[in-house]
Amino acid sequence: MDLLYLFLGLGGLLVGAEMAVGGSLGLAKRFGWPSWVAGVVLLALGTSLPEFFVALASAPQHPGLALGTVFGSNAINVGGVLGLMLVLQRKGGIPLADARPEILFALLAGSGLAFIAFGQAEINVVASGLLLGLFGLVLGSSLCVGTASAPEENPDDKLDLASKGEEEPIPLLRSSLLALAGFAMLALASNWFLRGALNLADLLGWDTGFAGFMIAAAGTSAPEFFTSIQAMRKGHVGAVFGNVLGSNAFNLLLVGGTAGVLAEVTIDAIEIYPQLWVNLAASAVLALPLFIRREGGRRTKIGVAAGFLLIGGWMVAAYWIAVGSGSI
């Protein structure tokens, strides 16, 4: 029965990802947003809803599971999703999004706040509230950029779109309904996936923190993986980095902040501490645009070598946390 839920969940994630990408990018065209803004605001918001639902359900009595899901999802998004997308793109690479600096600084500041909020047994509610405030900054800044940006895509994206014969934008109402239906399907399918995956984790004897970091995170990060695949297939390569960046900001700032505010019991600080460092490392990778200059007016790209490094880094981090939690 657990395997049935796993397969049903994966199938639903595929269908939901197709609808979410189509509707979200349709809305982005109507609003005149570049693809990376669609990734930060629309795709990230929709694909991170499963993490939010898990946090709402588990945070009061099982905050370790909620936080493990947040940190595990962020690690998988960077090491697994972004790393694998870089490998699949091969020589084409993926451009680093032209995100405004405050978005990247908010992610780094949020990672630091996470140490204050969750690095001890008693969760710091004030620091958790500040995480929610930083999320408001990220969302507001992204919307401002999207409104002010000219409807120009990355030149590479234009070539991809032309080669795929992209048609005129679909009507606004249809795009909205398609995106909402896709998000609903992603949330429902993720719950099916989680139900099967977490039952299997019980059979393996994993604690809640590590189960959240590995099993729950894998299930709730699956939408990011499938939407990134679909965005690349549709030629919107610039949306991949934006999707991962926005998802991590959503997970850490909104989901993590919500979990900290709702938690009614203490957590195992020793268990969560390594996950805080892994989350900080993932945030540092996404902050690379702050330290890399453009060359010749074009956005800097990262390629297949970086992809293998990210995948390897995630595997090392997962092993380190597994050993630290006593799960292996």
The CA distance from 8 to 120, in Å, is: 38
Do the Cβ atoms of 256 and 131 come closer than 8 Å?
Answer: yes
Q: How many CB atoms lie within 10 A of CB 159?
A: 12
Check which CATH number belongs to the domain holding 261 and give it.
1.20.1420.30
The CA distance from 198 to 58, in Å, is: 13
Provide CB contacts within 8 A for 165, sequence distance 6+.
Answer: none
Do the Cβ atoms of 283 and 110 come closer than 8 Å?
Answer: yes
At residue 95, what are phi and psi to the nearest 5 degrees? Answer: -70, 140
Q: How many CB atoms lie within 10 A of CB 264?
A: 10
pLDDT at residue 145 in the model: 64
The CA distance from 91 to 28, in Å, is: 27
| Overall domain count for the chain | 1
pLDDT at residue 23 in the model: 83
pLDDT at residue 161 in the model: 35
pLDDT at residue 282 in the model: 93
The CA distance from 80 to 95, in Å, is: 17
pLDDT at residue 308 in the model: 93
pLDDT at residue 171 in the model: 81
The CA distance from 64 to 328, in Å, is: 18
Rg for the chain (alpha carbons), in Å? 19
- State the residue range of the domain holding 228: 2-325
At residue 287, what are phi and psi to the nearest 5 degrees? Answer: -85, 5
**pLDDT, mean of each 10-residue run, the chain (328 residues):** 76 80 77 67 71 80 86 92 87 69 86 93 92 87 63 43 48 86 83 74 72 77 82 79 85 92 86 90 87 60 86 91 72
pLDDT at residue 7 in the model: 77
**pTM above 0.75?**
yes
pLDDT at residue 193 in the model: 74
How crowded is the C-beta side of 277, counted as CA atoms within 13 Å?
12
The CA distance from 323 to 208, in Å, is: 14
